[in-house]
């Protein structure tokens, strides 16, 4: 009976040792790159527009929302790394439509979209959201 308890204790200790050793092993090293990212929101009208802009800031892993009064173009630049999720959303409320959003990576356009209102008219709400993952 004592031998069975000793065998169970030795087996349990061996199991714990394997678990601890496997946890100490480093994960797979994936090559990562640093990218220069630029978010752009542009009003295509002659007069500036009011925008609510939400964007993903990968450095802090959070969304930032801001209101801008009468702007023609808004840009935000930062550096991202491989596997970062990029997100940009802009919308107007009771304002003229016809604007576009874009994400540039290393000065190359990756994603762009223009609002669904094809003419410069006043709409209730126009919203565009785009996203991209750095790879």
Residue 6, in any domain of the structure: no
First to last CA, the chain: 59
Residue 26, in any domain of the structure: no
Residue 47, in any domain of the structure: yes
What CATH number does residue 57 fall under?
A: 2.60.40
Residue 24, in any domain of the structure: no
Question: What pLDDT, on a 0 to 100 scale, did the predictor assign at position 31?
Answer: 82
Which domain range does residue 116 map to? 34-133
Question: What pLDDT, on a 0 to 100 scale, did the predictor assign at position 96?
Answer: 60
Question: What pLDDT, on a 0 to 100 scale, did the predictor assign at position 117?
Answer: 65
Residue 87, in any domain of the structure: yes
∠ CA 52-58-64, rounded to 5° = 20
Residue 98, in any domain of the structure: yes
Question: What pLDDT, on a 0 to 100 scale, did the predictor assign at position 122?
Answer: 59
Low-confidence ranges of the chain (pLDDT < 70): 1-2, 22-28, 94-97, 116-125
Beta-ladder partners of 5: none
Question: What pLDDT, on a 0 to 100 scale, did the predictor assign at position 59?
Answer: 80
pLDDT tens string 93-123:
756 667 889 999 999 999 999 886 655 565 6
Unique residue bearing structure tokens 């939400």: 54
Residue 85, in any domain of the structure: yes
Rounded Cα distance, 112 and 103, in Å: 6
Question: What pLDDT, on a 0 to 100 scale, did the predictor assign at position 25?
Answer: 59
Give the number of domains in the chain: 1
Residue 110, in any domain of the structure: yes
């Amino acid at each position: 009976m004592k031998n069975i308890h000793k065998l169970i204790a030795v087996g349990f200790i061996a199991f714990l040792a394997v678990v601890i050793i496997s946890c100490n092993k480093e994960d797979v090293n994936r090559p990562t790159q640093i990218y220069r990212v630029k978010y752009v929101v542009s009003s295509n009208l002659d007069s500036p527009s009011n925008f609510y802009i939400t964007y993903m800031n990968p450095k802090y892993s959070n969304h930032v929302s801001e209101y801008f009064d009468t702007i023609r173009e808004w840009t935000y630049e930062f550096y991202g790394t491989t596997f970062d999720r990029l997100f940009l959303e802009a919308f107007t409320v009771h304002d003229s439509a016809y604007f576009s959003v874009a994400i540039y990576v290393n000065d190359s356009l990756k994603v762009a979209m223009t609002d669904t209102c094809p003419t410069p008219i006043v709409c209730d709400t126009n919203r565009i959201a785009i996203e991209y993952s750095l790879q």
